A and B are shown apart, each in its own frame.
Chain A
Amino acid sequence: MKCRVCRGPAVIDLPRHNANFCSDHFLQFCRRQVERAISDFDMFAPGDRVLVAVSGGKDSLALWDLLIQLGYQADGLYIGLGIGDYSDESCGYAQRFADERNLQLRVVSLRDEYGFDVPTASVASRRVPCSACGLTKRHLFDAAALEGGYDAVATGHNLDDEAAVLFGNTLRWEIDYLARQSPVLPARSGFPKKAKPLVRLSERETAAWCVVRNIDYLVEECPMAAGNRHLGYKEALNRIEERSPGTKASFYLNFLEHMAPLLAGQAKQESGALSVCSSCGSPTTGEVCAFCRLVSVSAAHEAVPVELLGRRSRGGAR
Protein backbone atom coordinates (compact mmCIF):
# COMPACT_ATOMS: atom_id res chain seq x y z
CA MET A 1 0.00 0.00 0.00
CA LYS A 2 1.16 3.51 -0.76
CA CYS A 3 0.55 6.76 1.06
CA ARG A 4 -2.28 8.71 -0.55
CA VAL A 5 -0.31 11.94 -0.24
CA CYS A 6 3.34 11.15 -1.08
CA ARG A 7 3.11 7.62 -2.59
CA GLY A 8 5.72 6.41 -0.07
CA PRO A 9 5.21 3.14 1.85
CA ALA A 10 2.06 3.28 4.00
CA VAL A 11 2.03 2.27 7.67
CA ILE A 12 -1.73 2.33 8.11
CA ASP A 13 -4.85 1.74 6.07
CA LEU A 14 -7.98 3.74 6.89
CA PRO A 15 -10.87 2.13 5.01
CA ARG A 16 -13.40 4.72 6.17
CA HIS A 17 -11.40 7.39 4.36
CA ASN A 18 -10.50 5.05 1.50
CA ALA A 19 -6.90 6.07 2.22
CA ASN A 20 -3.52 4.78 3.37
CA PHE A 21 -0.87 6.98 4.94
CA CYS A 22 2.84 6.96 5.67
CA SER A 23 3.89 7.96 9.21
CA ASP A 24 4.27 11.68 8.52
CA HIS A 25 1.04 12.06 6.61
CA PHE A 26 -0.88 9.95 9.12
CA LEU A 27 0.22 12.34 11.87
CA GLN A 28 -0.81 15.27 9.68
CA PHE A 29 -4.19 13.62 9.11
CA CYS A 30 -4.73 13.21 12.88
CA ARG A 31 -3.75 16.81 13.64
CA ARG A 32 -6.20 18.06 11.02
CA GLN A 33 -9.03 15.93 12.41
CA VAL A 34 -8.44 17.32 15.91
CA GLU A 35 -8.09 20.89 14.63
CA ARG A 36 -11.38 20.46 12.78
CA ALA A 37 -13.17 19.11 15.88
CA ILE A 38 -11.86 21.98 17.99
CA SER A 39 -12.94 24.52 15.37
CA ASP A 40 -16.32 22.98 14.40
CA PHE A 41 -17.47 22.68 17.99
CA ASP A 42 -15.80 25.81 19.34
CA MET A 43 -13.86 23.85 21.96
CA PHE A 44 -10.92 26.13 22.67
CA ALA A 45 -9.55 29.52 21.67
CA PRO A 46 -5.89 29.94 20.70
CA GLY A 47 -3.68 30.03 23.78
CA ASP A 48 -6.33 28.56 26.10
CA ARG A 49 -5.12 26.79 29.25
CA VAL A 50 -6.48 23.25 29.10
CA LEU A 51 -6.54 20.60 31.82
CA VAL A 52 -6.18 17.14 30.25
CA ALA A 53 -7.76 14.19 32.03
CA VAL A 54 -4.89 11.70 31.88
CA SER A 55 -5.26 7.97 32.51
CA GLY A 56 -2.01 6.56 31.10
CA GLY A 57 -3.94 4.95 28.23
CA LYS A 58 -3.65 5.66 24.52
CA ASP A 59 -6.43 8.20 24.18
CA SER A 60 -5.47 10.58 26.96
CA LEU A 61 -1.76 10.50 26.10
CA ALA A 62 -2.46 10.99 22.38
CA LEU A 63 -4.77 13.87 23.27
CA TRP A 64 -2.18 15.54 25.48
CA ASP A 65 0.47 15.11 22.80
CA LEU A 66 -1.82 16.53 20.10
CA LEU A 67 -2.88 19.55 22.16
CA ILE A 68 0.75 20.41 22.88
CA GLN A 69 1.58 20.05 19.17
CA LEU A 70 -1.34 22.35 18.33
CA GLY A 71 0.01 25.03 20.65
CA TYR A 72 -2.28 24.81 23.65
CA GLN A 73 -1.02 25.23 27.19
CA ALA A 74 -2.06 21.78 28.38
CA ASP A 75 -1.41 20.39 31.85
CA GLY A 76 -2.37 16.89 33.00
CA LEU A 77 -4.31 15.55 35.96
CA TYR A 78 -4.06 11.86 36.83
CA ILE A 79 -6.37 10.32 39.42
CA GLY A 80 -5.10 7.21 41.20
CA LEU A 81 -8.26 5.15 41.44
CA GLY A 82 -6.77 2.37 43.56
CA ILE A 83 -7.55 -0.42 41.09
CA GLY A 84 -4.64 -2.61 42.19
CA ASP A 85 -1.65 -3.08 39.90
CA TYR A 86 -3.60 -1.54 37.02
CA SER A 87 -3.59 1.87 38.71
CA ASP A 88 0.07 1.62 39.73
CA GLU A 89 1.07 0.82 36.15
CA SER A 90 -1.14 3.45 34.54
CA CYS A 91 0.25 6.16 36.81
CA GLY A 92 3.77 5.17 35.76
CA TYR A 93 2.92 5.60 32.08
CA ALA A 94 1.34 9.02 32.70
CA GLN A 95 4.26 10.22 34.81
CA ARG A 96 6.90 9.04 32.32
CA PHE A 97 5.06 10.75 29.45
CA ALA A 98 5.01 14.03 31.39
CA ASP A 99 8.61 13.78 32.63
CA GLU A 100 10.02 12.99 29.18
CA ARG A 101 8.32 16.08 27.72
CA ASN A 102 8.73 18.37 30.72
CA LEU A 103 4.95 18.72 31.10
CA GLN A 104 3.03 19.48 34.27
CA LEU A 105 1.18 16.46 35.71
CA ARG A 106 -0.70 16.59 38.97
CA VAL A 107 -1.36 13.21 40.60
CA VAL A 108 -4.25 12.73 43.02
CA SER A 109 -4.54 9.50 44.99
CA LEU A 110 -8.11 8.68 46.02
CA ARG A 111 -6.90 6.43 48.82
CA ASP A 112 -4.41 8.95 50.21
CA GLU A 113 -6.52 12.08 49.83
CA TYR A 114 -10.08 10.83 50.27
CA GLY A 115 -9.66 7.53 52.15
CA PHE A 116 -11.18 5.18 49.58
CA ASP A 117 -10.65 3.57 46.18
CA VAL A 118 -12.94 2.58 43.30
CA PRO A 119 -13.33 -1.13 44.23
CA THR A 120 -14.32 -0.14 47.77
CA ALA A 121 -16.63 2.63 46.53
CA SER A 122 -18.33 0.17 44.20
CA VAL A 123 -19.16 -2.23 47.04
CA ALA A 124 -19.93 0.45 49.65
CA SER A 125 -22.27 2.44 47.38
CA ARG A 126 -23.65 -0.59 45.48
CA ARG A 127 -22.79 1.14 42.22
CA VAL A 128 -21.15 -0.70 39.32
CA PRO A 129 -17.40 0.12 39.35
CA CYS A 130 -17.57 2.25 36.17
CA SER A 131 -20.29 4.40 37.76
CA ALA A 132 -18.30 5.04 40.95
CA CYS A 133 -15.22 5.72 38.82
CA GLY A 134 -17.02 8.13 36.47
CA LEU A 135 -18.66 10.09 39.28
CA THR A 136 -15.31 10.44 41.06
CA LYS A 137 -13.38 11.52 37.97
CA ARG A 138 -16.00 14.06 36.87
CA HIS A 139 -16.04 15.68 40.29
CA LEU A 140 -12.27 15.83 40.73
CA PHE A 141 -11.54 17.03 37.18
CA ASP A 142 -14.20 19.75 37.48
CA ALA A 143 -12.90 20.89 40.85
CA ALA A 144 -9.26 20.91 39.71
CA ALA A 145 -10.10 22.89 36.54
CA LEU A 146 -11.99 25.55 38.48
CA GLU A 147 -9.37 25.72 41.21
CA GLY A 148 -6.55 25.99 38.70
CA GLY A 149 -8.30 28.61 36.56
CA TYR A 150 -8.24 26.46 33.41
CA ASP A 151 -10.35 27.46 30.40
CA ALA A 152 -11.53 23.88 29.83
CA VAL A 153 -11.17 20.21 30.74
CA ALA A 154 -10.25 17.98 27.78
CA THR A 155 -11.02 14.26 27.83
CA GLY A 156 -9.83 11.52 25.48
CA HIS A 157 -13.25 10.29 24.36
CA ASN A 158 -12.86 9.17 20.73
CA LEU A 159 -15.21 8.39 17.85
CA ASP A 160 -15.71 4.79 19.02
CA ASP A 161 -16.58 5.92 22.56
CA GLU A 162 -19.13 8.43 21.33
CA ALA A 163 -20.63 6.11 18.72
CA ALA A 164 -21.01 3.36 21.35
CA VAL A 165 -22.74 5.73 23.78
CA LEU A 166 -25.02 6.96 20.98
CA PHE A 167 -25.76 3.35 19.97
CA GLY A 168 -26.70 2.38 23.52
CA ASN A 169 -28.89 5.43 24.06
CA THR A 170 -30.59 4.92 20.69
CA LEU A 171 -31.33 1.26 21.38
CA ARG A 172 -33.21 2.34 24.51
CA TRP A 173 -34.47 5.67 23.08
CA GLU A 174 -33.00 7.56 26.01
CA ILE A 175 -34.14 10.96 24.75
CA ASP A 176 -32.74 12.82 27.74
CA TYR A 177 -29.29 11.32 27.28
CA LEU A 178 -29.44 11.73 23.50
CA ALA A 179 -30.28 15.42 23.94
CA ARG A 180 -27.24 15.88 26.16
CA GLN A 181 -24.69 14.05 23.98
CA SER A 182 -22.30 16.70 22.70
CA PRO A 183 -18.56 16.91 22.07
CA VAL A 184 -18.45 20.14 24.07
CA LEU A 185 -20.29 21.32 27.16
CA PRO A 186 -20.10 25.05 27.88
CA ALA A 187 -19.03 26.31 31.28
CA ARG A 188 -21.88 27.07 33.66
CA SER A 189 -22.13 28.04 37.26
CA GLY A 190 -19.80 25.78 39.23
CA PHE A 191 -18.81 23.67 36.20
CA PRO A 192 -15.91 24.19 33.80
CA LYS A 193 -16.14 23.90 30.01
CA LYS A 194 -15.59 20.28 28.89
CA ALA A 195 -14.41 19.17 25.46
CA LYS A 196 -13.69 15.94 23.57
CA PRO A 197 -11.22 16.89 20.83
CA LEU A 198 -10.71 13.27 19.63
CA VAL A 199 -14.30 12.70 18.46
CA ARG A 200 -13.21 12.64 14.80
CA LEU A 201 -10.55 9.96 15.43
CA SER A 202 -11.27 6.27 15.91
CA GLU A 203 -9.66 4.20 18.64
CA ARG A 204 -7.49 2.49 16.05
CA GLU A 205 -6.27 5.91 14.94
CA THR A 206 -5.45 7.18 18.46
CA ALA A 207 -3.58 3.94 19.18
CA ALA A 208 -1.71 4.29 15.88
CA TRP A 209 -0.82 7.89 16.77
CA CYS A 210 0.85 6.58 19.93
CA VAL A 211 2.73 3.84 18.07
CA VAL A 212 3.99 6.20 15.37
CA ARG A 213 4.93 8.85 17.96
CA ASN A 214 6.65 6.23 20.20
CA ILE A 215 4.32 6.99 23.08
CA ASP A 216 4.39 4.17 25.61
CA TYR A 217 0.94 3.61 27.09
CA LEU A 218 -0.89 1.03 29.14
CA VAL A 219 -2.32 -1.45 26.63
CA GLU A 220 -4.02 -3.72 29.16
CA GLU A 221 -7.71 -3.18 29.77
CA CYS A 222 -9.04 -1.95 33.12
CA PRO A 223 -10.02 -5.10 35.07
CA MET A 224 -13.18 -3.32 36.27
CA ALA A 225 -14.38 -2.64 32.70
CA ALA A 226 -14.02 -6.19 31.37
CA GLY A 227 -17.27 -7.42 29.85
CA ASN A 228 -19.18 -4.17 30.29
CA ARG A 229 -22.04 -3.17 27.99
CA HIS A 230 -20.04 -0.38 26.37
CA LEU A 231 -17.48 -2.91 25.07
CA GLY A 232 -20.28 -5.01 23.61
CA TYR A 233 -21.60 -2.02 21.68
CA LYS A 234 -18.13 -1.28 20.33
CA GLU A 235 -17.71 -4.86 19.13
CA ALA A 236 -21.09 -4.74 17.38
CA LEU A 237 -20.30 -1.41 15.70
CA ASN A 238 -16.90 -2.68 14.57
CA ARG A 239 -18.51 -5.70 12.92
CA ILE A 240 -20.72 -3.32 10.96
CA GLU A 241 -17.75 -1.03 10.24
CA GLU A 242 -15.73 -3.88 8.72
CA ARG A 243 -18.53 -4.62 6.26
CA SER A 244 -19.38 -0.98 5.66
CA PRO A 245 -16.42 1.35 6.37
CA GLY A 246 -17.43 4.79 7.56
CA THR A 247 -20.58 3.67 9.36
CA LYS A 248 -19.39 4.71 12.84
CA ALA A 249 -18.41 8.18 11.68
CA SER A 250 -21.66 8.65 9.74
CA PHE A 251 -23.74 7.41 12.67
CA TYR A 252 -22.14 9.81 15.16
CA LEU A 253 -21.25 12.85 13.08
CA ASN A 254 -24.58 12.86 11.22
CA PHE A 255 -26.36 12.58 14.56
CA LEU A 256 -24.57 15.73 15.68
CA GLU A 257 -25.40 17.53 12.44
CA HIS A 258 -28.98 16.43 11.84
CA MET A 259 -30.48 14.95 15.01
CA ALA A 260 -28.91 16.83 17.91
CA PRO A 261 -30.44 20.17 16.81
CA LEU A 262 -33.90 18.56 16.76
CA LEU A 263 -33.38 17.28 20.29
CA ALA A 264 -32.14 20.58 21.69
CA GLY A 265 -34.35 21.56 24.59
CA GLN A 266 -35.53 17.98 25.13
CA ALA A 267 -33.11 17.34 28.01
CA LYS A 268 -34.85 17.26 31.37
CA GLN A 269 -34.26 20.41 33.32
CA GLU A 270 -32.73 19.88 36.74
CA SER A 271 -35.50 20.26 39.26
CA GLY A 272 -34.98 23.45 41.19
CA ALA A 273 -31.95 25.67 41.25
CA LEU A 274 -28.56 24.21 42.03
CA SER A 275 -27.38 24.87 45.55
CA VAL A 276 -23.95 24.51 47.06
CA CYS A 277 -22.74 21.27 48.65
CA SER A 278 -22.47 21.83 52.40
CA SER A 279 -19.34 19.68 52.48
CA CYS A 280 -17.22 20.71 49.45
CA GLY A 281 -18.97 23.72 47.92
CA SER A 282 -19.66 22.08 44.54
CA PRO A 283 -23.00 22.59 42.77
CA THR A 284 -25.63 20.05 43.80
CA THR A 285 -29.38 19.55 43.73
CA GLY A 286 -29.37 18.31 47.34
CA GLU A 287 -27.64 19.40 50.51
CA VAL A 288 -24.58 17.20 49.95
CA CYS A 289 -23.23 16.40 46.47
CA ALA A 290 -23.06 12.85 45.08
CA PHE A 291 -19.27 12.75 45.36
CA CYS A 292 -19.25 13.74 49.03
CA ARG A 293 -21.92 11.12 49.72
CA LEU A 294 -19.73 8.57 47.93
CA VAL A 295 -16.71 9.62 50.01
CA SER A 296 -18.71 9.37 53.21
CA VAL A 297 -20.00 5.85 52.60
CA SER A 298 -16.76 4.54 51.02
CA ALA A 299 -14.22 5.91 53.50
CA ALA A 300 -16.15 4.28 56.33
CA HIS A 301 -16.12 0.90 54.55
CA GLU A 302 -13.46 -1.78 54.93
CA ALA A 303 -11.08 -1.65 51.95
CA VAL A 304 -12.10 -4.05 49.18
CA PRO A 305 -9.20 -5.47 47.11
CA VAL A 306 -9.79 -5.41 43.37
CA GLU A 307 -9.26 -9.19 43.21
CA LEU A 308 -12.09 -9.75 45.68
CA LEU A 309 -14.41 -7.54 43.66
CA GLY A 310 -13.61 -9.62 40.57
CA ARG A 311 -14.49 -12.83 42.40
CA ARG A 312 -17.73 -11.28 43.68
CA SER A 313 -18.68 -10.20 40.17
CA ARG A 314 -17.95 -13.60 38.69
CA GLY A 315 -19.77 -15.32 41.53
CA GLY A 316 -22.81 -13.13 41.01
CA ALA A 317 -22.95 -13.99 37.32
CA ARG A 318 -23.35 -17.71 37.88
Chain B
Amino acid sequence: MRVLLRNPRREVEVAGPLQVTSLLDRLELQRESHLVICDGTLVPVDSQLPDDCVVEIRPVISGG
Protein backbone atom coordinates (compact mmCIF):
# COMPACT_ATOMS: atom_id res chain seq x y z
CA MET B 1 0.00 0.00 0.00
CA ARG B 2 1.02 3.60 -0.60
CA VAL B 3 1.33 5.56 2.65
CA LEU B 4 1.40 9.36 2.69
CA LEU B 5 3.13 10.93 5.66
CA ARG B 6 3.32 14.62 6.62
CA ASN B 7 5.69 17.04 8.30
CA PRO B 8 7.64 16.57 6.11
CA ARG B 9 5.41 15.33 3.30
CA ARG B 10 6.67 12.00 1.95
CA GLU B 11 5.43 8.63 0.69
CA VAL B 12 6.46 5.11 1.64
CA GLU B 13 5.39 1.69 0.35
CA VAL B 14 4.30 -0.82 2.98
CA ALA B 15 3.24 -4.40 2.22
CA GLY B 16 -0.37 -5.21 3.14
CA PRO B 17 -2.83 -6.27 4.27
CA LEU B 18 -2.10 -4.76 7.63
CA GLN B 19 -4.04 -3.60 10.65
CA VAL B 20 -3.93 0.17 11.35
CA THR B 21 -2.34 -0.35 14.74
CA SER B 22 0.39 -2.53 13.18
CA LEU B 23 1.10 0.11 10.53
CA LEU B 24 1.49 2.82 13.18
CA ASP B 25 3.77 0.56 15.24
CA ARG B 26 5.88 -0.27 12.19
CA LEU B 27 6.32 3.42 11.42
CA GLU B 28 6.91 4.18 15.13
CA LEU B 29 4.04 6.68 15.24
CA GLN B 30 1.87 7.43 18.29
CA ARG B 31 -1.78 6.49 17.89
CA GLU B 32 -2.86 9.47 20.01
CA SER B 33 -1.03 11.88 17.70
CA HIS B 34 -2.34 10.66 14.33
CA LEU B 35 -5.42 9.93 12.28
CA VAL B 36 -5.41 7.22 9.65
CA ILE B 37 -7.39 7.84 6.47
CA CYS B 38 -7.80 4.95 4.02
CA ASP B 39 -8.90 5.87 0.49
CA GLY B 40 -10.36 9.11 1.85
CA THR B 41 -12.24 7.56 4.80
CA LEU B 42 -11.30 7.84 8.46
CA VAL B 43 -10.65 4.38 9.95
CA PRO B 44 -10.25 3.13 13.56
CA VAL B 45 -7.19 1.28 14.85
CA ASP B 46 -8.50 -2.26 14.33
CA SER B 47 -9.27 -1.73 10.62
CA GLN B 48 -7.57 -3.99 8.14
CA LEU B 49 -5.84 -2.00 5.39
CA PRO B 50 -5.79 -3.84 2.04
CA ASP B 51 -2.58 -3.96 0.06
CA ASP B 52 -4.01 -1.90 -2.81
CA CYS B 53 -5.24 1.08 -0.77
CA VAL B 54 -3.82 4.56 -0.37
CA VAL B 55 -3.35 5.54 3.26
CA GLU B 56 -2.78 9.00 4.67
CA ILE B 57 -1.35 9.18 8.17
CA ARG B 58 -2.21 12.67 9.33
CA PRO B 59 -0.45 14.18 12.35
CA VAL B 60 -2.80 16.10 14.63
CA ILE B 61 -0.40 17.82 17.00
CA SER B 62 0.21 21.51 16.50
CA GLY B 63 2.59 23.69 18.42
CA GLY B 64 0.82 27.03 18.59
By a beta-carbon cutoff of 8 Å, the part of chain A in contact with chain B is: 1, 10-13, 20, 23, 55, 57-59, 130, 133, 160-161, 202-204, 206-208, 211-212, 219-222, 225-226, 228, 230-231, 234-235, 238-239, 241-242
- The distance from the CB of B14 to the nearest CB of chain A, in whole angstroms, is 20
Q: Would you call B62 and A11 a contact (CB within 8 A)?
A: no
**Cβ A238 vs Cβ B32 within 8 A:** yes
* 26 chain-A/chain-B pairs, Cβ below 8 angstroms: A1-B44, A1-B45, A10-B44, A13-B45, A13-B46, A23-B42, A55-B64, A57-B64, A58-B62, A130-B63, A203-B33, A203-B62, A204-B32, A204-B33, A212-B42, A219-B7, A219-B58, A221-B63, A222-B64, A225-B63, A230-B64, A231-B61, A231-B63, A235-B33, A238-B61, A242-B30
**Shortest Cβ-Cβ A-B pairs, 7 listed:** A225-B63, A207-B60, A13-B44, A231-B63, A238-B32, A11-B42, A203-B60
- Give Cα A11 to B42, complex, Å: 5
Tell me whether chain B's interface is mostly helix, strand or loop, or mixed.
Answer: loop
| B63 & A230 in contact (Cβ 8 Å cutoff) | yes
A222 touches B30 (CB 8 A): no
Inter-chain contact B35/A211, CB cutoff 8 Å: yes
B27-64 CB contact bits vs A (8 Å, 1 = yes)?
Answer: 00011111101000111111100000000001111111
Give the residue of A10, A13, A222 whose beta carbon is less than 8 angstroms from that of B63.
Answer: A222
The CA-CA distance from A220 to B63 in the complex, in Å, is 11
For B42, list chain A residues within 8 Å (CB). Answer: 11-12, 23, 208, 211-212
In the complex, the answer to whether B64 meets A225 with C-beta atoms within 8 Å is: yes
B7, A221: Cβ atoms under 8 Å? yes
Chain A residues with CB below 8 A from B45, complex form? 1, 13
Q: Binding site of A, secondary structure by majority: helix, strand, loop or mixed?
A: helix
Chain B: residues with Cβ within 8 Å of the partner, total of 24
Asked if residues B33 and A221 are in contact (CB atoms below 8 Å), the reply is no
Report if B26 contacts A (CB, 8 A): no
The complex places the Cα of A23 from the Cα of B50 at a distance, in Å, of: 21
Closest to B32 in A: A238
**CA of A211 to CA of B41 in the docked complex: distance in angstroms?**
8
Q: Does B6 contact A (CB under 8 A)?
A: yes
Contact A58 B63 (CB under 8 A): no
- Bound state CA distance, A255 and B9, in angstroms? 37
CA A230 to CA B59, docked complex, whole Å: 16
